Amino acid sequence: MSMKNFIKSNLPAIAVVLLAVVFMAVGAWRGEIAVVLKKAVNICLECIGIG
């Protein structure tokens, strides 16, 4: 499959990947990674059924 055909048949996926990258960058800029990290490095009491 040529590059042109590949792009043509995957346009929606390419658009979503680009939007995803923008979302990730916006989230990182807003400080969301720190929230994820803080939750993930401490035992999540809700997950294990005691919180």
Partner 1 sequence: MLKKLKENGRTVFQLLYTAVTNGYIYGFFGGKIFKGKTKGFCVPGLNCYSCPGALGSCPLGSFQAVLSDRKFKFAFYVAGILMFFGAVFGRFVCGWLCPFGLVQDLLYKIPFPKKLRKLPGDKWLKYLKYVIFAVFVVLLPLTVLDIIGQGSPWFCKYICPSGTLFGALPLFAADEGIRGAAGGLFGWKTAVLVFLVLLSVVVYRPFCRYLCPLGAVYSVFNPIAFYRYKVDADKCTKCGKCQKACKMDIKVYEKPNDPECIRCGDCVKACPYGAICPSVKLKKKKSEEKQK
Binding mask 8-37 for partner 1 (x = CB under 8 A): -xx-xxx-xx-xxxxxxxxxx-xxxxxxxx
Which residues make Cβ contacts (< 8 Å) with residue 44, sequence separation at least 6?
51
In a 13 Å sphere around the CA of 14, the CA atoms on its Cβ side amount to 9
Q: Determine, following the binding rule CB under 8 A, whether residue 7 of this chain makes contact with partner 1.
A: no
Q: Determine, following the binding rule CB under 6 A, whether residue 1 of this chain makes contact with ligand SF4.
A: no
Residue 7 and residue 14 in contact, taking contact as beta carbons nearer than 8 Å: yes
Instruction: Provide the minimum distance between the beta carbon of 30 and partner 1 in the complex, in angstroms, as a whole number.
Output: 7
Instruction: Provide the minimum distance between the beta carbon of 36 and ligand SF4 in the complex, in angstroms, as a whole number.
Output: 11
